[in-house]
Copies of this chain bind each other. A is one copy, B any other.
């Protein structure tokens, strides 16, 4: 057996406002969130995003989004699936995620 180490999550309630704003103030992460919002939950793996960075940077961005409590991840075999924490994050920071998803 011996799974891979489960990803560390931070609950939105424990996320400082500054951390949330910093996490969302990045074009790559905004794009990830929008793509994620346009898909069914738990259907998108980390590598499935149409983003213009290599996988090391991509992995970093997901760690930031996790640390901001806006994304949840679940390992399934070799792949890591994602979902938006829309409900909980929206309770902690009302309107913020909607703002990012709405776009300009």
A77 at the binding interface (Cβ < 8 Å): no
User: Is B21 in contact with A27, judged by CB distance below 8 angstroms?
Assistant: no
Interface size class of A (residues with CB under 8 A): 10 to 19
User: Is A18 in contact with B22, judged by CB distance below 8 angstroms?
Assistant: no
User: Is B17 in contact with A100, judged by CB distance below 8 angstroms?
Assistant: yes
A44 to chain B minimum Cβ distance, whole angstroms, is 22
Which chain B positions have C-beta within 8 A of A103? 17
- Given A93-B99, A95-B96, A99-B95; A104-B17 close (CB under 8 Å): yes
**Chain A 16-70 interface residues, beta-carbon cutoff 8 Å to B:** 16-18, 21-22, 24-27, 30
Interface set of A (CB-CB < 8 Å, partner B):
16-18, 21-22, 24-27, 30, 93-96, 98-100, 103-104
